[in-house]
Amino acid sequence: MHNARLRRHTAATCLAATGALLAAACGSSGSDSAASTADSSLTGTPVKVMVWAPENSQGSNQPGVPATAQAYATWINNHGGIKGGPLKVITCNEKGDPNEAEKCAQQAVSEKVVAVVGSYSLAGDRYMPILQKAGIPYLGGTGVSAAEFSNPLSFPVNGGTPVVFAAHGQQLVESGCTSVAGVRYDVAAAAIVGQFLSLGTVSAGGAAAKDVKIPLTATDLAPQVAAATKGGGCVDVILGTHSDLFVKAYVQSGAKNKLGSVVGNLTPDLAATTGGSSGPLEGAIITGYYPPVSDPVWKTFAAAVKGNKNVDPTSGAEETTWVAFTAFTEAAKKLSTISAKTLVAELNSTSGLSTGGLTPPLSWTAATALPIPGLNRIHNTTATEMVIKDGKIEWAKAGSTFVDVRKALTTKTG
């Protein structure tokens, strides 16, 4: 088949699955809106930005996103602020509700913020038009809304579902998987994610992944475990925060297949509860957007959130928030006058914005855009290859770095 046809078909829907697949849901006790306290010793012009995420909702709560933003503001303000002015972070609880997300965007306009940074929301079709009309950039959202990868005022810092799953398929095959069974929920968005997984396996010279579907209401996963492990190949667990259900059934089955997934599914916590270094997740193949948290590039983040029980440094959503704020600061420091308009111009023209090694240098110029309709705001097409080792996610190999799957995503096949 022609990959471009698949990508056009999937662009509008595949990214909605990312919330369940890449970012762990967690509890929340946040308020609807809050603002960071500016450092009174900073006398420069305050720089005001906004962050939103769902809290106290029925879906994937992300209280760690605003908590990470506040931690960044505290850290940067303790280190001179931005051009001598304090960074002020306004947070908004979008409650997992498109109407509330729209209200958050309207508040961003009324507050005249410079940007919305490092946020999490599935309702991009509602908030992006509001931000676009006001000229406010959306920098480094978590990548769980299709609009984030198509709207010209969106500046993502990672490649979302298409990139990470294509990279994961490649990593599985290159790690020696002679066949791959992808285990996912029986919903359209997850099926599309499985197609990007197969795109990666095929690009690496392997076969398309076997598709093993699980009903949303299933509690006994023994039949799916049997189907996925038959033949002895690798098993990819794409069930988000419910991956534990499959792993427990897998352990009970006595199977010995190698397991894998993208970051956020097979977690260190799950490894700890299923046998640790002697359990089934030891050696599991993990693909992510960023280096593992043990890498020195995260040392500032680790120091800034040390002892902060509201932040999980291993959360992909919270890591993305930190990366987004790092990119924002680097761009803002280059501006003589910091405003939404000047920031957009800078982001659109930069040839390489440093995040200190958390990502490759970031660019959002026309030359670096992924040439796929609906995904053309993806510019960073890299991912990281990792494994679970001694209960922790580490680099797959010493000396590893980012791998680029742009060629796999854009090459015609068949």
What is the percent of the chain with per-residue pLDDT over 90, rounded to a whole number?
Answer: 81
Strands (E), 36-156: 47-53, 87-93, 115-117, 138-139, 154-155
Cα 217 to Cα 230: distance, rounded to the nearest angstrom: 23
Describe the strand order of the beta sheet including 47-53 as a list of residue ranges. 33-35, 87-93, 47-53, 115-117, 138-139, 154-155
Confidence of residue 60 (pLDDT cuts 50, 70, 90): confident
- CA distances to 38, 175, 244 from 233, in Å: 55, 12, 20
Buried b (16+ CB within 10 A) or exposed e, 155-188: bbbbbbbbbbbbbbbbbbbbbebebbbbbbbebe
User: Whose CA is closest to 313, among 392, 372, 234?
Assistant: 392
6 and 58 Cβ atoms separated by less than 8 Å: no
Handedness of CA 15, 21, 24, 27 (dihedral sign): positive
* Amino acid in the structure at residue 121: S
Average pLDDT, the chain: 90
Per-residue model confidence (pLDDT) at position 413: 52
Q: Where are the CATH 3.40.50.2300 domain residues in the chain?
A: 31-159+295-380, 161-288+385-410
pLDDT tens, position by position, 382-408: 999 999 999 999 999 999 999 999 999
Cα 327 to Cα 315: distance, rounded to the nearest angstrom: 18
Cα 155 to Cα 346: distance, rounded to the nearest angstrom: 11
Block residue for tokens 């392997």: 206
Block residue for tokens 């910091």: 338
Q: Indicate the Cα dihedral angle 343, 346, 352, 354, nearest 10°.
A: -30
Average pLDDT over residues 44-73: 93
Please give the model's pTM, rounded to 2 decimal places. Answer: 0.90
113 and 48 Cβ atoms separated by less than 8 Å: yes
- CA distances to 84, 105, 260, 281, 362 from 386, in Å: 39, 36, 10, 13, 22
63 and 119 Cβ atoms separated by less than 8 Å: no
Which tokens belong to 197?
Answer: 């997984």
Per-residue model confidence (pLDDT) at position 77: 97
CATH number for 31-159+295-380: choose from 3.40.50.2300, 3.40.50.720, 3.20.20.70, 3.40.50.10540: 3.40.50.2300
pLDDT tens, position by position, 144-203: 888 999 999 999 999 998 999 999 999 999 999 999 999 999 988 788 899 999 999 999
Per-residue model confidence (pLDDT) at position 192: 85
> What single string gives the DSSP state of each residue in 63-95?
THHHHHHHHHHHHHHTTTTBTTB-EEEEEEE-T
pLDDT exceeds 70 at position 6: no
Which tokens belong to 27?
Answer: 């509890």
Per-residue model confidence (pLDDT) at position 140: 97
317 and 20 Cβ atoms separated by less than 8 Å: no
Please give the CATH number for the structural domain made up of 161-288+385-410.
Answer: 3.40.50.2300
